[in-house]
Amino acid sequence: MLPLKQMQKDNHILITGGAGYIGSHTVVELISAGYTPIVVDDFRNSNKFVLRGLGEILGDVPIIHELDVCNYRAMEEIFQKYNFKGIIHFAAYKAVGESVANPLKYYSNNIGGLTTICELALKYEVNNFVFSSSCTVYGEPEGLKEVTEDTPKSAPNSPYGNTKLIGESILKDVQNSNPNFKVINLRYFNPVGAHPSAWIGEYPLGKPNNLLPFVTQTAIGKHDHLTIFGNDYPTPDGTCIRDYIHVCDLASAHVKALAYLFKNNEPCLEAFNIGTGKGTSILEVITIFEEKTGVNLSWKFGERRDGDVVEIYANAEKSTNLLNWQPIYSIEDAVIHAWEWEKKLVEYV
């Protein structure tokens, strides 16, 4: 691999939020595919030690600008400096519960960031745009729990989810008025795991909201026990079912999405589900964790959490057929990698 600063200049991809959990793994995949990611991140929801991890994996630290994506003037300088071939827009808040408590924080940052980047993309004619969307746009699916991209969307259960739905609508309107502007919405299911090297992974600030970081933090002794939110759901074991996708597989989907945009010169507005197609219950996740790590997890059943969807998993055939994307890791791999990362974090912090 070439030193990052010598990599091809016509292959620059803007990665907003590239120091975050999914962003950092995507940086690795992009560089492996020959692109030069230009990261914009102000580290408000990530930690600078991600740079050390990326350096260990890549042999060099990626180009990074410490900026708020809502800052139009500062972002414009970035668009003037580089000739971007495409944009992957990750930078956004993502905590469901916090968004209920503080909706304006979410609308202002998630929508403000998106419109700022879109305005500049149009002004500087960067016409290939990949948006971090979420399966939250489907809400609680009626009937079949395996959703396709055509499954009707329903009201998201949080302001966070609403920002994803509104984000997709904004991009639809922008694409409609600018046919050269090509858009892919990647609807992520539940990202889990860490890079197999354990040099990068998820680093929740404060108490984790998501299941797997809470599992690994409990196992390492940061919490007394995990609370399973509800055991009386209409599922085989009474706990909620999700489609857990390894973060490296999710990252590789972004490279495939860019390739799809680059090879298609027609107007494009497409959504793709990025999941494994397999639903796993919370109790199953715990069993897998205990079996794969040999660590006994302390857990209790608690009350249901407000706004939780009972069961959802992806039909990702469209991604396989059109993007030529498929996950290569299993949930067992993801759990092992998440655990290796949790242990590695002891060295970092």
Q: Which stretch binds ligand UFG (CB under 6 A): 34-42, 302-310, 320-328, 341-349?
A: 302-310
Pick between residue 50 and residue 240 the one whose CB is nearest to ligand UFG.
240
Q: Using CA atoms, how far apart are residues 278 and 288, in angstroms rounded to an integer?
A: 14
Asked about 160 being catalytic, the answer comes back as yes
Cα separation, 305 vs 288, in Å, equals 23
For ligand UFG, the closer of residues 13 and 192 by Cβ is: 192
- Tell me if 228 contacts ligand UFG by CB under 6 A: yes
Q: How far is the CB of 175 from ligand UFG (least distance, A)?
A: 23
Measured from the CB atom, is 84 or 160 closer to ligand UFG? 160
Q: Which residue is nearest to ligand UFG (CB)?
A: 240
Residue with smaller CB distance to ligand UFG, 145 or 242 = 242
In the set 229, 238, 270, 318, which binds ligand UFG (CB under 6 A)?
229
Q: Which of 94, 182, 187, 337 binds ligand UFG (CB under 6 A)?
A: 94
For residue 17, what are the contacts with CB-CB under 8 A and spacing of at least 6? 23, 40, 41, 46, 69, 89, 90, 91, 92, 132
Of the candidates 71, 115, 178, 209, which one interacts with ligand UFG according to CB under 6 A?
A: 209
Nearer to ligand UFG, 37 or 159 (CB): 159
CB neighbour list of residue 322: distance below 8 Å, 6 or more residues apart: 260, 270, 272
Q: Residue 214 CB, nearest distance to ligand UFG (Å)?
A: 4
Told to check if 190 binds ligand UFG by CB under 6 A, we report: yes
Question: What's the CA angle centered on 272, arms 323 and 317, to 5 degrees?
Answer: 65
Nearest approach, Cβ of residue 226 and ligand UFG (Å):
6
What does the per-residue mask of binding to ligand UFG show for 132-171, with x meaning CB under 6 A?
Answer: --xxx------------------------x----------
Residue 275 near residue 192, CB atoms below 8 Å: no
- For 125, half-sphere exposure in the C-beta direction (CA atoms, 13 angstrom radius) is 1
Instruction: Quote the least distance from Cβ 79 to ligand UFG, whole Å.
Output: 28
Beta bridge partners of 182: 128
Contact letters for ligand UFG, residues 25-64 (x by CB under 6 A): ----------------------------------------
| Residues 137-161 as b or e (16 or more Cβ within 10 Å = b) | bbbebeeebbbebebebeebbbbbb
Q: Which residue pairs, CB below 8 angstroms and at least 24 apart, start in 172-178?
A: 172/269, 174/118, 174/122, 175/267, 175/268, 175/269, 176/269, 178/122
Catalytic residue among 35, 82, 138, 160: 160
Query: 62 near 3, Cβ under 8 Å?
Result: no
170 and 89 Cβ atoms separated by less than 8 Å: no
Contacts of 334 (CB under 8 A, 6+ apart): 192, 193, 212, 244, 245, 246, 247
Q: How many residues bind ligand UFG (CB under 6 A)?
A: 21
Residue 336 binds to ligand UFG (criterion: CB under 6 A): no
d(CA 76, CA 64): 15
245 binds ligand UFG (CB under 6 A): no
Distance CA 130, CA 251 (A): 12
Binding site for ligand UFG (CB under 6 A): 94, 96, 134-136, 161, 190, 209-211, 214, 226-229, 240, 242, 282, 305, 308-309
User: Which active-site residues does the annotation give?
Assistant: 160
